[in-house]
Amino acid sequence: MLLAAIHMENLTKSYDGKIIALNRLNLDIPQGGIFGFLGPNGAGKTTTVKLLTGLLKPTEGVCTVFDMSPQEKPCDVHRICGVMTETARMYGQMTGRQNLQFFAQTAGMDGPESDQRADELLKSLDLWDARDRKLSEYSTGMTQRLSLARSLVHRPGVLFLDEPTSGLDPESAQTVNAMILSLARNTGVTVFLCTHQLRYAQDLCDGYGILEKGNLLAAGDLPTLCKNIGCRIRAEFRLAPGQSPEGLQKAGEWWRTEVRDEDEMPGLVRKLIDSGHDLYEARLVKPTLEDVYFEYTERREVSK
Ligand SMILES: Nc1ncnc2c1ncn2[C@@H]1O[C@H](COP(=O)(O)OP(=O)(O)OP(=O)(O)O)[C@@H](O)[C@H]1O
Ligand SMILES: [Mg+2]
């Protein structure tokens, strides 16, 4: 079996000894692909990123990134990780380009190599026109994109992104998401992505973890999450007005039923027609990440 890129075992953190910010988290994230770490405010996502990047020490349990403990070997872990958090730590009095050149040199690149890497990133994140402006004059979205560029300077194997698109307009968010996707597809980087933006997450991620109040409610890809919570695909039909088929429920102008998979659809269509219904439209509605997320978090509310 391939070594997990990120391993967490009973990972627990309490900041004050009373409230548990992260409660016995067990999770292995495979190499390559984008892992979406989801959960409401205060769930413990940023705490997890800080533990995995060695900014915090666990109260209990262990975590490793490519088999190295961020607490014991912070320099080794930082060499292979890129981190982008909500607060970018860069230099306001330096230009965007100078910031990237500086961090490239800190990572061991020589002058020409760091210039080339900085320019490459400025172009791919749509910051080329702003390259010679001071960072203090950048807008929030520009700063955020520069921060992503900074996290990528040393071509990391694991990328931790904490809300990378939260302050961005839709166009910039699209640029950033496209870049994350192309990185993951073309370079094999493992991305750990904390986000609230479930629609973007569904387009980007290969697997998910849902965290709430420090507890991992579920983990897996979308079909697995759907299956485990009983979220089914729905077959929906629009019929001639006044017709009411047996065994289907009405929802607005549609009649619907849950199905295990799409193979059931032809049989349902045939049955409706054979029993004399006039079928105007038939569709399959697959559960979205948003449906599944709320199913998990709301079910938890109900069972409290
Ligand atoms: N420095 C700190 N000192 C004390 N408690 C903290 C600290 N940082 C976070 N916490 C607490 O830990 C819990 C988890 O917070 P965390 O920032 O990890 O959540 P999050 O999932 O990143 O939330 P958000 O979506 O709002 O960014 C919260 O109860 C928060 O109040
Ligand atoms: Mg956070």
The three-state (H, E, C) secondary structure of 173-196, written as one string: HHHHHHHHHHHHHHHCCEEEEEEC
CA of 147 from ligand 1 middle (Å) equals 21
What is the number of the ligand closest to the CA of 42?
1
Q: Is 47 in the pocket of ligand 1 (CB under 6 A)?
A: yes
- Which positions ≥6 away from 275 have C-beta within 8 Å? 245, 246
- pLDDT for the residue numbered 300: 67
CA of 46 from ligand 2 middle (Å) equals 4
Say yes or no to pLDDT of 2 above 80. Answer: no
Contacts 24+ apart (CB under 8 A), 128-131: 130/96, 131/95, 131/96, 131/97
What mean pLDDT is predicted for residues 40-69?
A: 96
CA of 94 from ligand 1 middle (Å) equals 31
Q: Is 280 in the pocket of ligand 1 (CB under 6 A)?
A: no
CA of 46 from ligand 1 middle (Å) equals 7
What mean pLDDT is predicted for residues 152-172?
A: 91
Mean model confidence pLDDT for the chain: 92
Q: Is 86 in the pocket of ligand 1 (CB under 6 A)?
A: no
- pLDDT for the residue numbered 167: 78
- pLDDT for the residue numbered 301: 63
Q: How far apart are CA 153 and CA 132, in angstroms?
A: 18
Question: Residue 299: which pLDDT band, with cuts at 50, 70 and 90?
Answer: confident
Say yes or no to pLDDT of 292 above 90. Answer: yes
What is the number of the ligand closest to the CA of 197?
1
CA of 17 from ligand 1 middle (Å) equals 14
Q: Is 20 in the pocket of ligand 1 (CB under 6 A)?
A: no
- pLDDT for the residue numbered 114: 97
Which domains are seen in the chain, by residue range?
A: 6-221 (3.40.50.300), 232-286 (3.30.70)
- Ligand 1 atom nearest to 49, measured from its CA: 18
- Ligand 1 atom nearest to 16, measured from its CA: 4
Mutate which of 11, 14, 25, 41 for ligand 1 pocket (most atoms within 8 A of beta carbon): 41
- pLDDT for the residue numbered 172: 86
**Residue located nearest, by CA, to atom 12 of ligand 1:** 21
- pLDDT for the residue numbered 202: 94
- pLDDT for the residue numbered 256: 95
Q: How far apart are CA 149 and CA 298, in angstroms?
A: 37
Contact call for residues 118 and 106 (beta carbons, < 8 A): no
pLDDT tens readout for residues 77-111: 999 999 998 666 799 999 999 999 999 999 999 99
Query: Among residues of the chain, what percentage have pLDDT more than 70?
Result: 97
- pLDDT for the residue numbered 1: 58
Q: How far apart are CA 283 and CA 25, in angstroms?
A: 39
What mean pLDDT is predicted for residues 52-69?
A: 96
Contact call for residues 7 and 64 (beta carbons, < 8 A): yes
What is the number of the ligand closest to the CA of 38?
1
- pLDDT for the residue numbered 166: 85
pLDDT tens readout for residues 261-287: 889 999 999 999 999 999 999 999 999
In 3D space, the residue among 157, 163, 153 whose CA is nearest the CA of residue 190 turns out to be 157
